[in-house]
């Protein structure tokens, strides 16, 4: 008996980032189609439709302007701004935008597979794209919020730093992180129905250990290391630095977060692919 070659090891295949991107690229048309449908369904049947895409972040920004000026009065050291009050609100809003994207990714990904049993029952369907599509649609709306932040910086702060060119890099790192988490949680949501309750508590705790409404320098030295274990801390501080203070991020920390995001991305994909074979039995 002759063998044409050795069998490929599925474990090594799932741990290869190139194979992961190749697989996602293979289904790119389906990913785009499902992402478009997810975006359109979000405001389907509403009276104002896609107007909410613009209205929601603007209304939230107005709330944060009020909170930052009259309640928290948070202070950030650095360059003088043309409009300090608007700058404080935008700095906080930048943090809450990143947090909201991650929080929505966590909550939505749990039901991305469990909430679509019709896809699971199909014999040939790439289930791994469902959490990815969920994350992609959330980042689409997050990009709208980002554009509003940039527009408001130009209008109220009247400066746009050259370091803003790093925003796409930060966006990619953040997307890899959220995609990996979505694969982990999508699979866990099928087998463990308590996942949604656990993540609900954890995201509330995550809000308070993320420097959104306070400057990281306000945290006592002995607790800062703990705060920096949260990857959102580095992503938020790096984004604020490049948008408002014309500072390059801490390349060491950013490199570590980038590496960690790639590991989580690949680990999430591996975990999902190794566990998806039993989804139909559970659902």
Q: For 163-192, what is each residue's pLDDT tens digit?
A: 999 999 999 999 999 999 999 999 999 998
**Which is more confidently placed, 29 or 66?**
29
> How far is the CA of 53 from the CAs of 47, 104, 142, 167, in angstroms?
13, 15, 10, 21
Most distant CA pair in the chain: distance in Å? 81
Q: How confident is the model at residue 3 (pLDDT cuts 50, 70, 90)?
A: very low
Residues in CB range of 51: below 8 A, 6 or more apart = none
Predicted confidence at residue 76, as pLDDT, reads 57
DSSP state of 115: T
Distance CA 204, CA 281 (A): 33
Q: Decide: 108 and 138 in contact? Cβ < 8 Å.
A: yes
Predicted confidence at residue 55, as pLDDT, reads 82
pLDDT of residue 264 exceeding 70, the answer is yes
Predicted confidence at residue 13, as pLDDT, reads 79
Question: 226-234 contacts: CB < 8 A, separation 24 or more?
Answer: 228/253, 230/206, 231/177, 231/257, 231/260, 231/261, 232/98, 232/99, 232/102, 232/206
> How far is the CA of 231 from the CAs of 58, 91, 148, 174, in angstroms?
26, 18, 24, 9
Q: Please name the residue that has the structure tokens 């919020």.
A: 145
Distance CA 186, CA 282 (A): 13
pTM score: 0.89
**Burial of 110 (C-beta count, 10 Å sphere; 0-12/13-18/19+):** buried
Q: What is the pLDDT of residues 41-96, one digit of tens each?
A: 887 776 666 788 888 888 888 887 777 666 665 555 545 666 777 788 888 889 99
> How far is the CA of 139 from the CAs of 5, 60, 70, 72, 258, in angstroms?
42, 18, 31, 29, 18
% of the chain beyond a pLDDT of 90? 47
Q: How confident is the model at residue 99 (pLDDT cuts 50, 70, 90)?
A: very high
pLDDT of residue 18 exceeding 50, the answer is yes
Q: Decide: 90 and 152 in contact? Cβ < 8 Å.
A: yes
Distance CA 220, CA 198 (A): 29
């Amino acid at each position: 008996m002759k063998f044409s070659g050795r069998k490929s090891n599925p474990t090594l295949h799932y741990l290869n980032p190139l194979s992961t991107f190749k697989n996602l690229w293979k289904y790119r048309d389906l990913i785009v189609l499902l992402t478009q449908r997810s975006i359109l369904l979000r405001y389907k049947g509403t009276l104002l439709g896609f107007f909410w895409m613009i209205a929601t972040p603007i209304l939230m920004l107005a709330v944060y302007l009020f909170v930052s000026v009259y309640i928290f009065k948070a202070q950030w050291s650095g360059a003088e701004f043309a409009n300090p009050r608007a700058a404080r609100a935008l700095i906080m809003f930048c943090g809450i935008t990143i947090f909201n994207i991650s929080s929505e990714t966590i909550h939505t990904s749990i039901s991305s597979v469990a909430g679509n049993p019709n896809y699971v029952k199909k014999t040939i369907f790439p289930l791994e794209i469902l959490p990815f599509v969920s994350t992609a649609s959330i980042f689409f709306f997050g990009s709208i919020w980002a554009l509003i932040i940039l527009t408001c910086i130009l209008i109220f702060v009247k400066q746009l730093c050259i370091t803003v060119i790093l925003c796409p890099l930060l966006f990619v790192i953040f997307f890899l992180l959220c995609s990996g988490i979505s694969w982990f949680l999508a699979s866990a949501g099928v087998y463990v129905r308590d996942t949604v309750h656990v993540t609900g508590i954890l995201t509330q705790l995550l809000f308070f250990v993320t420097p959104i409404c306070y400057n990281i320098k306000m945290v006592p030295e002995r607790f800062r290391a703990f705060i920096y274990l949260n990857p959102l801390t580095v992503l938020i501080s790096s984004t604020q630095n490049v948008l408002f203070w014309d500072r390059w991020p801490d390349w060491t920390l950013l490199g570590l977060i980038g590496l960690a995001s790639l590991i989580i991305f690949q680990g999430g994909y591996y975990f999902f692919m190794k566990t998806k074979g039993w989804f139909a039995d559970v659902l």
